[in-house]
A and B are shown apart, each in its own frame.
Chain A
Amino acid sequence: MVSKDSLLHNSVLHLILGQLTQLAQGHFFSNDLQSYIGQLQKVLLQLADTESEKTPILPEAKRLVTDAVWRATQYLAGSTSNRIPYEIVYSLKHALEDWGVRDCVITTSLLKSSDFSCERINSAPAKICAELMLKTEFSVDLVQVAFPEIFEHSPIFCTPLYHEIGHYVEERYQRITGMATHAEDLIEHLPDHPYLNINYSEQSHREIFRDHSIEHFCDIFAASYVGECAAFYIEQWAPDQPFTVTHPSTQSRVELIHAFLEERSSPYLDALLETSKDSEGNSMLKRRFILPAVEAFYADIRPCEIQSVEELHGVFPASLAFMQTPGFPAPPLAPMNNEKVAATINGLAEKSIRNFMIKRAWNEHLDKIKN
């Protein structure tokens, strides 16, 4: 007999279990995701079992886990629909590995709106289950990102996802929150400091400092991989966005990105770089891309030959620059209108990355056979 108080949650739990069973019958391109679904099913069965009070779990905690699994299901469903932007997900995975995140799978959800987002780290069930001490071992962690559906085949316009995984990195390590805990002397150097209301409490100033610093960190994180693309989207989509308590103004964001790319120094930027040092004292926020020479390829409407992971990240800003260069596109792209050129170059960037993925997977396979 289900108690009156847990009727809704128990029903949700069983409905999600049904969805997961359906998902498990689908085809995943990743074995990790397939096994993750199996692990989620085990968690839900374990939670359902707590109704019998064999293993009592706090009801609020149970709701948290159920909600986490529900959210995860949405992203897992998105990742079975064969509509994953594999090329950018592949690039993001390399970026995460640079930051020591190797035990993860990126799942995606397509949005009808213009938003890009990353689920908070504790929205991924593995994290909550570990805290709850549920006896379920997850082999990987989920990085759950969402982006506008209309950019499904426009990798250059999906580069805000680099900013989003910056949020994941921050949530995982809390480096910026750690900096903000002891940042009394730095608040006055915050780019939007002149707009801080003097009537705000000291605590509000600290919170604004933390939230803005996280956004700036994510911008610099993105810029370290995709250069100008990190500024492109916010500059074009929200050019006049003013200072808010949660987000810096577009102007200060773009200025800081340019300061980073031009290697200019400022107390605030230096603090962000200092906070992001590895165990050997080198800042992890450094230029991690090389611009491939896309012109020669794209002018002939051919995918570019990417030679390295640095060029893999660099193909985004190089392609964007190609789109924006005066005098380009040269023939045969010249007769096309802007819209067609953008679609064509996005397509070429997508194919360039896909070729690199295939070549690399092939080489890795050959290396394995040799060894």
Chain B
Amino acid sequence: MSGIRLYVGLVACLTLSQLGLGCVDHLAVTGVSFVARKYKGIFMTILSNTSRQESTLAFVRILVRNLSANPERLSPELREYVFQVAHDAAKFAQHHGSVTEFKPEAIELAFQIADKPDLVQELSGMESAQAFNKNIAQRLMDGFQRFAPA
């Protein structure tokens, strides 16, 4: 019986969503809230990334995002850290050094930027943390966006 109710609920959800209506909320006021809640429980979670594990780069992403928007929020130590990771990643992407010489996060970042020679060139050309400015950070952030949404 509950299977039939679930089926009816799903059809209703699909129909309503095709009409551009938020199915769960609308079903809740149309008398099939049990089915709607069940549908929500089975197929949806409150956040799309509730159980997704962050990659090794999660912290680097936070720093780069801050560097691109609010660089003043980063301490000198953190600026130095994120510069080193980005610089090492660029070096590794340019075939310099082996994995054992770099931090794991630099290797993972290298993988993500390896097919962007201009960005790699720019990052490897930085000589100090001060050179890692907002613009470069923003370009690195754009590279991130494609692969690992925040």
Q: Does A228 contact B (CB under 8 A)?
A: no
Q: Which residues of B contact A279 (CB under 8 A)?
A: 100
Q: Which of A58, A181, A203 contacts B62 (CB 8 A)?
A: A58
Which of B55, B74, B104 gathers most chain A CB within 10 Å? B104
Taking a contact as CB atoms under 8 Å apart, the answer to whether B58 and A122 are in contact is yes
Q: Which residues of A contact B111 (CB under 8 A)?
A: 177-178, 180-181, 206, 210
Assuming the contacts A133-B78, A180-B111, A181-B114, asked whether A64 and B58 have C-beta atoms less than 8 A apart, the reply is: yes
B interface majority secondary structure = helix
Q: Does A182 contact B (CB under 8 A)?
A: yes
Taking a contact as CB atoms under 8 Å apart, the answer to whether A64 and B104 are in contact is no
Categorize the interface residue count of chain B. Answer: 20 to 34
Taking a contact as CB atoms under 8 Å apart, the answer to whether B95 and A182 are in contact is yes
Taking a contact as CB atoms under 8 Å apart, the answer to whether A133 and B59 are in contact is no
Q: Which residues of A contact B93 (CB under 8 A)?
A: 181
Q: Which of A172, A178, A206, A207 contacts B98 (CB 8 A)?
A: A178
Taking a contact as CB atoms under 8 Å apart, the answer to whether B62 and A61 are in contact is yes
Which of B56, B75, B98 gathers most chain A CB within 10 Å? B56
Taking a contact as CB atoms under 8 Å apart, the answer to whether A203 and B99 are in contact is no
From 21 to 50 in chain B, residues with beta carbon under 8 angstroms from any chain A beta carbon are none
Taking a contact as CB atoms under 8 Å apart, the answer to whether A172 and B81 are in contact is no
Cα–Cα distance between A182 and B99 once the two chains are bound (Å): 12
Taking a contact as CB atoms under 8 Å apart, the answer to whether B59 and A64 are in contact is yes
Q: Which residues of A contact B78 (CB under 8 A)?
A: 133
Taking a contact as CB atoms under 8 Å apart, the answer to whether A203 and B146 are in contact is yes
Which single residue of chain B is at the shortest CB-CB distance from A178? Answer: B99
Cα–Cα distance between A364 and B100 once the two chains are bound (Å): 33
Cα–Cα distance between A207 and B98 once the two chains are bound (Å): 20
Q: Which residues of B contact A123 (CB under 8 A)?
A: 53-54
Cα–Cα distance between A206 and B114 once the two chains are bound (Å): 10
Assuming the contacts A121-B104, A177-B108, asked whether A171 and B114 have C-beta atoms less than 8 A apart, the reply is: no
Taking a contact as CB atoms under 8 Å apart, the answer to whether B107 and A131 are in contact is no
Contact with B along A65-90 (1 / 0, CB 8 A): 00100000000000000000000000
Q: Which of B63, B77, B92 contacts A181 (CB 8 A)?
A: B92
Cα–Cα distance between A175 and B56 once the two chains are bound (Å): 14
Q: Which residues of A contact B92 (CB under 8 A)?
A: 178, 181
Q: Which of A60, A120, A180 contacts B55 (CB 8 A)?
A: A120
Q: Does B66 contact A (CB under 8 A)?
A: yes
B37 to chain A, nearest CB (A): 22
From 170 to 213 in chain A, residues with beta carbon under 8 angstroms from any chain B beta carbon are 171-175, 177-178, 180-182, 202-203, 206-207, 210
Which single residue of chain B is at the shortest CB-CB distance from A206? Answer: B115
Assuming the contacts A175-B99, A178-B98, asked whether A132 and B59 have C-beta atoms less than 8 A apart, the reply is: yes
Assuming the contacts A121-B104, A173-B104, asked whether A64 and B62 have C-beta atoms less than 8 A apart, the reply is: yes
B149 to chain A, nearest CB (A): 14
Cα–Cα distance between A203 and B143 once the two chains are bound (Å): 12
Q: Does A310 contact B (CB under 8 A)?
A: no
Cα–Cα distance between A268 and B63 once the two chains are bound (Å): 36
Taking a contact as CB atoms under 8 Å apart, the answer to whether B59 and A171 are in contact is no
Q: Does A271 contact B (CB under 8 A)?
A: no
Taking a contact as CB atoms under 8 Å apart, the answer to whether B66 and A173 are in contact is no
Which of B66, B74, B99, B147 gathers most chain A CB within 10 Å? B99
Q: Which residues of B contact A177 (CB under 8 A)?
A: 99, 107-108, 111
B17 to chain A, nearest CB (A): 26
Q: Does B140 contact A (CB under 8 A)?
A: no
Assuming the contacts A61-B62, A64-B54, A178-B107, asked whether A131 and B114 have C-beta atoms less than 8 A apart, the reply is: no
Which single residue of chain A is at the shortest CB-CB distance from B61? Answer: A60
A187 to chain B, nearest CB (A): 13
Taking a contact as CB atoms under 8 Å apart, the answer to whether A174 and B108 are in contact is yes
Taking a contact as CB atoms under 8 Å apart, the answer to whether B110 and A181 are in contact is yes
Cα–Cα distance between A77 and B81 once the two chains are bound (Å): 33
Which single residue of chain A is at the shortest CB-CB distance from B106? Answer: A174
Q: Does A119 contact B (CB under 8 A)?
A: yes
A–B complex contacts, Cβ < 8 Å, 9 sampled: A58-B62, A58-B74, A60-B65, A64-B59, A133-B77, A181-B111, A182-B114, A206-B114, A279-B100
| Extra pairs beyond A120-B53, A174-B56 (15, CB < 8 Å) | A58-B62, A58-B66, A58-B74, A64-B58, A119-B53, A120-B54, A121-B56, A122-B56, A131-B59, A178-B110, A178-B111, A180-B111, A206-B111, A206-B115, A210-B111
Interface residues of A (CB under 8 A from B): 58, 60-61, 64, 67, 119-123, 128, 131-133, 171-175, 177-178, 180-182, 202-203, 206-207, 210, 279
| Nearest 3 pairs of A and B residues by beta carbon | A178-B99, A174-B107, A174-B104
